[in-house]
């Protein structure tokens, strides 16, 4: 799930494009803050890190990852600091959490490098 889609045009800017590994497609949020991405995993996993590829000028700022167990309890929250660049960026989860299996992950972007609060993600990968 995502907080919004640009002009509600899911066929062109939907969440599915964060995971299709195509360079020409992306999820584009609509205006406003905060923006968020929620990933629900089929089976609990130990997540060691994640990577994002934003469009420069539309990157998240004041960003947090929140991780939840199968029963919905929050097991971890950690800030991360994306750069305002087009290149993929990899972030590692704190060592103390790597052995805790999570079932749901939320990426929360309190602000964006875009004046209107839009986020554009070309690629999102979980590292386990």
Strand blocks (E) in the chain? 27-28, 35-45, 49-54, 60-68, 74-80, 89-92, 102-112, 120-127
- For the chain, the maximum distance between any two Cα atoms, rounded to a whole number of angstroms, is 40
Q: What is the pLDDT of residues 1-44, one digit of tens each?
A: 999 999 999 999 999 999 999 999 999 999 999 999 999 999 99
Q: Is beta strand 60-68 parallel, antiparallel or unpaired with respect to 74-80? A: antiparallel
Question: For 10, phi and psi rounded to 5 degrees?
Answer: -70, -25
How many angstroms separate the Cα of 15 from the Cα of each of 10, 26, 77, 98? 7, 8, 23, 26
Q: What is the pLDDT of residues 78-118, one digit of tens each?
A: 999 999 999 999 999 988 787 889 999 999 999 999 999 99
pTM for the structure as a whole: 0.95
Q: Is beta strand 60-68 parallel, antiparallel or unpaired with respect to 120-127? A: unpaired
């Amino acid at each position: 799930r995502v907080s919004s889609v640009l002009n509600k045009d899911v066929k062109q800017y939907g969440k599915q494009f964060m995971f299709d590994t195509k360079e020409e497609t992306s999820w584009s949020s609509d205006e406003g803050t905060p923006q968020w991405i929620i990933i629900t995993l089929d089976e609990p996993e130990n997540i060691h890190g994640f990577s994002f590829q934003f469009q420069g000028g539309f990157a998240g700022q004041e960003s947090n990852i929140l991780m939840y167990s199968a029963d919905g309890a929050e097991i971890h929250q950690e800030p991360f600091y994306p750069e305002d660049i087009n290149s993929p960026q990899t972030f590692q989860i704190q060592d103390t959490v790597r052995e805790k299996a999570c079932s749901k992950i939320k990426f929360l972007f309190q602000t964006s490098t875009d004046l209107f609060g839009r986020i554009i993600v070309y690629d999102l990968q979980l590292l386990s």
